[in-house]
Amino acid sequence: MLLNIFTFAGRLHPLIVHLPIGFLLLAVLFDLLGYTKKYAHLRSAVPLTLLAGFVMAVLACVFGYMLSLSGDYDRTTLSHHKLAGIGLALIAGLLFLLTTRRFKAVYTVTPTLFSTLLVGLFGLMGYAGHQGGNLTHGSDYLTMAVLTYRERPKPTSVEQAMIYEDVVQPMLVKKCGQCHQPGKLKGNLSVQNLKSLLKGGKNGPAVVAGKPDESELYKRITMDPAHEKFMPADGKPPLAKKEVEIIHWWIEKAMAAEGAPIAALKDNAAIKPKVAAWLGLGGATAPEEENEAGIEQHINPDIPAAVDPGLVENLRRKGLMVRIMLQHPAMLDVTLPAGSGKSIGDIKDDLAKVGKNIIWLNLSDNNFSDTDLAFLGQLTNLEKLRLEKNPIADGISDHLAALKHLEAVNLNETRISAVCVNKLEKTQGVKRVYSWKTAAPQAAD
């Protein structure tokens, strides 16, 4: 519990750290402008801005320390940033003391020396900020390499594209690079290059050529998003379905190849349309769109084009959270908050009225039974269903068997057995059944 509080508080550091920067910058400007007759009066505000900068710098240090406990940062860069931040706070406090009457009664600092110290403080602040930027964005974020970097030319056809250099690497850097880069290596893993992926991190190699199911990278991106080890974490946009399929093909069929054009690789017919769509070259064989969360949807022609806004509002008034994933056709993601205390009778009819538009449904941890959930068969276009932590048993499989579009169902911490899992896995379309902490085998987790 204490660590969770520290983690939450630490995330306020990026907000708080800008306050001492502003106050101390004002102190420097007020002091330097004070050398002119026109703005000489500004010098009287320097002590107050220094005091405010000192107080906020101390707070930034405290929250920064909390943040450092929650992330796998480069130790050297973190140490430099931490020491520079502490030094900045101490010097700001010392400079404030130099402006007080009690100190001036003992020793008076000349204006030139005071201004020199302020400029030095500004330089230290720049250094501390640069180290913080390295922790957040990587050590190469502000270097000459950025000025001399030449972007790799975009291939004009799928045949020209290199599977790793043009597709997989930029995909991973975009979706995973913020947490897995030089300067911030969560799990000691970098996704910047293939060598780092093969080396892996705390949990071993991220990629095992030819074996996606043994590759930690693939396992993490295909877990249930509710799983604590799912990646990307912290609510960041997950990889789209076609991106996951491309990575699977790259690991299994392309043997995690580097420097290999797709045209030269075997069994490339199925993956070429997906690569073409990802590169924006056209050639995709199925209509695909991405919703606001960046999650790919294969458009199901059975989904009604629109939904009555009044029916959606009825759900919200009854305490359900409704997110519109796509406008045309109208795709809904509906969640009943855990432990809501609602009976199924309170919401069943309202859910059924928009049932054909519900694509994702989360009813987890609401004490619903198999009988309560019999109405799920009416949600004919359901693709993803979360029922974990409900007292349901094998009977639930009878209600879900008719859902021909269902792809994933989470039954973690329920009373199901292998009978239910086997029946669901044989259902057309179902790709994943999550059965952690049940009597069923847990290989799907």
pLDDT at 282 (0 to 100): 52
pLDDT: which is higher, 82 or 295? 82
Task: Look at the pTM and tell me if it is higher than 0.85.
Answer: no
Mind listing the pLDDT tens digit for each residue in 101-144?
A: 999 888 889 999 999 999 999 999 999 999 988 887 766 666 65
222-226 long-range Cβ contacts below 8 angstroms, 24+ apart: 222/432, 223/445, 224/386, 224/408, 224/410, 224/412, 224/432, 224/434, 224/445, 226/364, 226/386, 226/388, 226/410, 226/412
Q: Which range in 66-75, 198-207, 218-227, 436-445 is most confidently predicted, on average pLDDT?
A: 198-207
How far apart CA 144 and CA 266 sit, in angstroms, is 40
Mind listing the pLDDT tens digit for each residue in 335-384?
A: 999 999 999 999 999 999 999 999 999 999 999 999 999 999 999 999 99
pLDDT: which is higher, 76 or 416? 416
153 pLDDT more than 70: yes
Confidence class of residue 160 from pLDDT cuts 50, 70 and 90? confident
296 pLDDT more than 50: no
Angle among Cα 81, 174, 257 to the nearest 5 degrees reads 115
pLDDT at 152 (0 to 100): 79
Q: Any idea what DSSP says for residue 164?
A: I
Average per-residue pLDDT for the chain: 86
290 pLDDT more than 70: no
pLDDT at 380 (0 to 100): 93
Amino acid at position 114, single letter: F
27 pLDDT more than 80: yes
By the 10 Å C-beta count (0-12 exposed, 13-18 middle, 19+ buried), 242 is classed as buried
pLDDT at 234 (0 to 100): 64
As a whole-number percent, the residues of the chain with pLDDT over 70 amount to: 88
Confidence class of residue 240 from pLDDT cuts 50, 70 and 90? confident
